[in-house]
Amino acid sequence: MNAAQSGEVEVVYLLGADEIDTAKLEKTFVIYQGSHGEAGAHVADVILPGAAYTEKDALWVNTEGRVQQGFKAVHAPGDAREDWAIIRALSDKCGKTLPYDTIGQLRDKMVEVAPSFASIDEVTVAEWGEFGSAAPAGDAPFVNPIKDNYLTNIISRASGIMAECSAAFVANGEEGTGTNG
């Protein structure tokens, strides 16, 4: 972000990224791809409308490491497209065409690169590898970094109902755990 702020980076591509300091993007050309158009869309020079999670067939990996599959509930409005299709079309325009013309071809490649994607709704065991470095534990207490559980993502922040929940519970000083309210 500092390189974008200084003008060293000419183009920033925000793929659904909204929780950033957009003031640092004033000297760069910003492309925003997403579904709910929050902060990143407001500073974008180009907006590529992406489908929301309810508007696409998709795979997600939850915090447990379990691959989950979602199915399209409704079609995306207007010119919105699934993220993979937007990226595929851009690759063609850039002269670096990705070899995926269907979601099936893309998923085959995903399984080739990360075999756990073949195991929908199963926890796959991964080999334990070396990471990090040893360091002493501090004496500071653990704190919950989430101050408002009702507004933790772009979809929630765009919801009037979630804003009401936030106002009713968070404004009263109740600490959210994600399981209350």
Residues 66 and 97 in one domain: yes
What is the rounded average pLDDT of the residues 147-166?
85
Query: What is the domain count for the chain?
Result: 3
Checking if the pLDDT of 172 tops 80, the result is no
Helix (H) or strand (E) holding 13: strand 11-15
**Mean pLDDT lowest for which of 62-71, 118-127, 149-158?**
149-158
List the domain range (segments joined by +) for residue 169. 148-175
For the whole prediction, is pTM greater than 0.95? Answer: no
Q: What is the pLDDT of residue 177?
A: 55
* Residue 170 domain-assigned (yes or no): yes
- In terms of Cβ atoms closer than 10 Å to its own Cβ (0-12, 13-18, 19+), residue 101 is exposed
Q: Are residues 9 and 64 in the same domain?
A: no
pLDDT, average across residues 92-101:
95
145 has a pLDDT exceeding 90: no
Name which of 24-33, 133-142, 167-176 the model is least confident about. 167-176
